[in-house]
Structure 1
Amino acid sequence: MAQNKKKCRQYNVDYLRYGFIPSPTNPQLPMCLLCEQVFSNKAMKPSRLKEHLPKMHPDKASKELNYFQVIKERHSKRVGETLVLPAVKEAVSTVMEQDSSAVVNAIPLSNDTVARRIKEMSVDTEEQLSATLRVNCFSIQLDETTTGDNNALLMAYVRYLSDCGVTEEFLFGKYLITDTRGQTIFSALEEYFQEKSIPFSNLLACATDGAPAMVGRYRGFIALLKERAPDILTVHCILHRHNLVAKNISPQLHKSLDFAVKSINKIKAHALNDRLFRQLCSENDEMFERLLLHTEVRWLSRGNCLSRLCELFATVLEFLGTKDVDLRNNLFSSQCDIFYLADLFEKMNEVTLKLQGNGVTLVHSKTTICSFLVKMDLYRETVGRRQFNHFPRLATVSSKLTDEELLCYTEHLRMIKADMELRFRDLQNLQVPYWILEPFQVDVFEKEPIIQEHLIDLQNDEEAQATFHTSGWQGFSQVLYMQSKYRNRLNLIASGALRLKLSSLNPSTKTLAANHQGQGSH
């Protein structure tokens, strides 16, 4: 008798009210619009989908269907056709009680027109920012990456003081035609500054990663930059330093991590194995049906892929038992190491997320790093005493742990703390004035004369007092999202799409609209 096929659930358009759409790669899997997480087909039912918003996005749980419709359409350049035109048509016919055809047909929404409008708004916001940087001091942060189509993309952000406080803005993105050496990167920055008439004298500080092309003593980008701005303060990116610490693991743990990566690749790298593994996960009633790949350039992926592997560990062992017995045995013998690394990398990912985002300052970064350094002592002491309150995955295999393995973990935690203290010595020694932390509590008359008037204004600003206690880089992530395999020919820089996506400045739409002649009737 033929075995009955398991029911495959289909997507219902009503699921959009829960914030889910079909996955672009597999329409039988639901994908969250907010975090872009893809779930198994078993989750394709209202009772499961409803749980995601209150749990992972509580601030969006009360949003209505229209909110998710806007999110669904905002990246596709079809908002005008799918949302604006129907709204205009309804407004004209309902409010004005007129035929809406003439009004709707007069609104140009062709692909070329939309692309041209995006470019004009991008140029306008860029000019606004350039005008600000010509007369204000600012700091800059640069990094480069290789896009999916093998182009080298250099991106720069700036921070400056505006009427709204410290403001962070996307400055520019440029494709590097040939190499990514320090001279090439500096030439790109110098060319942009000359084109926009931005003086190097306004540049106060620069943050980069620790790559030789950036920090080389003679030909690095920083060395060339200091020739033009000798007094500039240079900083090694705190996020990059933290990522380097995460790579510091002992030979034993590195070997276990290698077994984990090989096991994941054994399944994910072969289409047949991936399909068979998904079927096995479904039969075992697993919460997830897919493993996550580890990508070196994505700093959170190491922790995420190990966490998923731990969730599906028994099923992975069962699957590898029929495909590669030696690899299965090596993975099983490394279970304690893998569970320990999954817990530790999850904690390091939490630190990484705290160090990202707009408005993160050195004061906030110092608090985050110093707090984690103290926690490392706590973790080392508790693990050494076989107390695994802070390592929940490791606690599930505590009965298998040997004293030698515990000694390896405590030594690894000690090594990580020592590495962090070495890399973040400047941040730990940073002296933060008390008036910065508590500007409403300090005695103005005891402070430097240059800041006394500003402190008085601040202390008497009731609105500032009310918001004081309530108050990335994400550019490369947006590049990966916008330049998908369906739009791999999109030039993010020339089109202006990337700037509008990352900039918080509003284009002068009234001025731009006034420069266009109204489309006459035909």
Structure 2
Amino acid sequence: MNDCKYFSLALDESTDVMDVSQLLIYTRAVNNSFEVHEELLKLVSLHDTTKGQDIFNAVESVVSEHGGFDKLSAVVADGAPSMQGRRTGFAGLLRQSGVDCPILHCIIHQEALCAKSMNFSHVMDLVTKVTNLIRGGNRSLNHRKFVAFLDEVSAAYGDLQMHTEIRWMSRGKCLERFFALRSEIPVFLEESIRCDTSAYCSQLRDTDFLCDMAFLADITSHLNRLNLQLQGRGQTVSDLYAHMNAFNAKLGLFKEGFQSDRPNLAHFPSCEEMRKDAPECEETMLKYKAEIEKLQQQFKSRFQDFYAMQPRIALFTDPLSAAVSEQPPELQLELCELQADPFFQANRNERGISFWRLLPESRFPILRDFALSMASMFGSTYICESNFSMMKHIKSKERNRLTDETLFQLMQIGCTNIEIDIQSIVRQQERPQVSH
């Protein structure tokens, strides 16, 4: 932090096993050689309220130990009012303190909110109810019978998967299995479940309902694939923006597929299965064009913070093709030199940080400074979310008396990318034996 050129912050808050709010503050710092380091800066335990002022005070206190906000390039957080509020939220208070940098809403959170916009609750309600009837709560006998039944009929899967609302990607896996077992489930309900399941069985044999389930399973699978692409450490803002743009293009392709009288279902395998089973459902599938349009609209209305950065992202991604006249005046002269230099034209296959590392500081000080700022930016809070799982293991029911400082130190060791030679440290601390 002290030696870096720029740094950004990723903030997220969750409660531990003792209902104490824990604020994770991660930093992504880049030095003058374009070496990027993502490390846990601090874990702050908030024992009282978790308002925007509390979060701002905690972050300001931590960052002031490392030189303040002067090198801050961006902040990314979730969409909670305490984080993103323009007046009393962390974002608003940061602006009021004189810090002018992009404050981003985590791109993974926004993608998950887009996915929730599709109105297929009638499908998920039935899938959840039937799954709980077979393997939920204390229905272990039903569950054992169901697994044995699937094995007996050589079904595509050996069991159903539970769906949990807080695990965004579980819906896709749950739907995929449920649709694959759509023929076996009603047979099992009629033969083995004692309570009245006729309403469920009639729906599971209704072509329109199965078409809805097939479409939801396919589009959720595509959304899950995007979610996986947005995850992972070390991704730049331009990497995340590229994934999102690619998905926008895919949505346009999907919409075109549902415009003709005979839908093109090359990218919707479950819908294709339904068409083979019930050719008359083709007309029903034309209505899914409106659902894709709704999803497109969600992707256009959200991600405004990323769209606002689009010119900077485009310049960082491909400086040799950027329109010079559209760039800020302070970058234009150096950009002209860069684009005219045959050495850099020959190295245009290099992308992102690896390309910017080639620029000598003596010739391109302003462009390099711009690139360093972009390279330091987080685009999501993935690094926080993934390490909350570690926090749950460290401060478990059996170790719930850990102090705040000890929890932070254990988290530091568990989350760091720096290789730690524990045995060497222990040997250094051992006192030499005193002979008598």
Matches within 5 A, 1:266-415: 266-270=133-137, 271-272=139-140, 273-321=142-190, 322-323=192-193, 324-333=197-206, 334-384=209-259, 385-398=262-275, 399-400=277-278, 402=281, 405-415=284-294
Q: How far off its partner does 1:136 sit? A: 4.1
Aligned-residue identity in percent: 26
Q: Which has the higher contact order (CA 8 A, sep 6+)?
A: 2
Match 1:504 to one of 414, 417, 422:
417
Paired residues of 1:259 and 1:327 also in contact (CA < 8 A): yes
Give the distance between the partners of 2:227 and 2:385, measured in 1 at CA: 16
- Secondary structure of the residue aligned to 1:210 is coil
Separation (CA, whole Å) in 1 of partners of 2:256 and 2:416? 45
Cα distance in 2 for partners of 1:518, 1:202 equals 44
Note the C-alpha offset of 1:281.
2.2
CA contact (8 A) 1:200 1:228 kept: no
Displacement, 1:303? 1.2
- Taking the TM superposition and a 5 Å limit, the aligned residue runs for 1:9-24 are none
Which residue matches 1:479? 388
How far apart are residue 141 of structure 1 and its match?
1.3
Kept in 1, the 8 Å contact 2:60–2:68? The answer is no
SS across alignment from 2:147: helix
Task: Give the Cα–Cα distance (whole angstroms) in 2 for the partners of residues 502 and 451 of structure 1.
Answer: 42
Counterpart Cα distance in 1 of 2:180 and 2:433: 59
In structure 2, do the counterparts of structure 1 residues 442 and 343 end up closer, same or farther at CA, with 3 Å as the change threshold? closer
Structure 1 residues 412 and 425, CA gap change in structure 2 (3 angstroms): same
> Which of 92, 106, 124 is the aligned partner of 1:223?
92
* Residue 517 of structure 1: aligned partner: 431
State the AA in 2 paired with 1:291.
L
> Deviation per CA, 1:263-291, whole angstroms, max 9, x where unpaired?
22222323323222222222222353332
Superposition deviation, residue 481 in structure 1 = 5.5
Task: Output aligned runs, 1:458-473, within 5 Å.
Answer: 459=344, 468=354, 473=382
User: Which residue number corresponds to residue 125 of structure 2?
Assistant: 258
One-letter amino acid of the counterpart of residue 369, structure 1:
M
Q: Which amino acid in structure 1 is aligned with residue 237 of structure 2?
A: L
Moved more, 499-508 or 254-263: 499-508
Q: Is the 8 A contact 2:40 2:416 kept in 1?
A: yes
Q: For residues 388 and 434 of structure 1, do their structure 2 counterparts lie closer, same or farther at Cα, with a shift above 3 Å needed?
A: closer
Distance change (3 Å), C-alpha of 1:449 and 1:247: same
SS in 2 for 1:320: helix
Q: Give the whole-Å Cα distance in 2 for the aligned partners of 1:269 and 1:517.
A: 57
The corresponding residue for 1:199 is 68
* Superposition pairs of residues 44-443 of structure 1, within 5 angstroms: 132-133=1-2, 136-147=5-16, 150-162=19-31, 163-194=33-64, 196-250=65-119, 253-270=120-137, 271-272=139-140, 273-321=142-190, 322-323=192-193, 324-333=197-206, 334-384=209-259, 385-398=262-275, 399-400=277-278, 402=281, 405-428=284-307, 430-432=310-312, 436-438=316-318
- TM-aligned CA deviation for residue 178 of structure 1: 3.7
What amino acid is the match of 1:145?
A: S
CA contact (8 A) 2:40 2:415 kept: yes
Shift of 1:434: 6.5
Q: Structure 1 residues 157, 197: CA separation in 2 closer, same or farther (over 3 Å shift)?
A: closer
Mark the CA change 1:276 to 1:151 in structure 2 (over 3 Å): closer, same or farther: farther
Alignment RMSD: 3.9
Deviation of the 1:314 alpha carbon: 2.6
C-alpha distance 227-507 of structure 1, shift in aligned 2 (>3 A): farther
Q: Which amino acid aligns with 1:414?
A: E
Q: For residues 42-73 of structure 1, what are the alpha-carbon distances to aligned partners after superposition, in whole Å with 9 as ceiling and x for unaligned?
A: xxxxxxxxxxxxxxxxxxxxxxxxxxxxxxxx
Deviation digits for residues 479-515 of structure 1, max 9, x if unmatched?
Answer: 3366359953345972433322322123476567434
Q: What's the secondary structure of 1:292's corresponding residue?
A: coil
Looking at structure 2, the residues matched to 157 and 500 of structure 1 have their Cα atoms a distance apart, in angstroms, of: 14
Tell me by how many angstroms 1:294 deviates. Answer: 1.7
Q: Please tell me the residue identity of whatever aligns with 1:409.
A: Y
Deviation at 1:341, TM superposition (A): 0.8
Aligned residues: 385
**Aligned counterparts of 1:144 and 1:486: Cα–Cα separation in 2:** 15
Residue identity matched to 1:274: H
Q: Deviations over 1:447-481 (max 9, x none)?
A: 5449979x98x95999x959959x95244344336
Shift, 1:422, TM fit: 1.4
Counterpart CA distance in 1 for 2:385 and 2:80 is 17
Q: Give SS of 1:153's match.
A: strand
Amino acid paired to 1:326: A
Q: Is the 8 A contact 2:114 2:298 kept in 1?
A: yes
Q: Shift in Å at residue 519 of structure 1?
A: 6.7
TM-score (norm 1): 0.64
Per-residue deviation at 1:172?
A: 2.4
**Structure 1 SS opposite 2:133:** helix
Query: Conserved in 2, the CA contact under 8 Å of 1:356 and 1:473?
Result: yes
Q: Is the 8 A contact 2:76 2:106 kept in 1?
A: yes
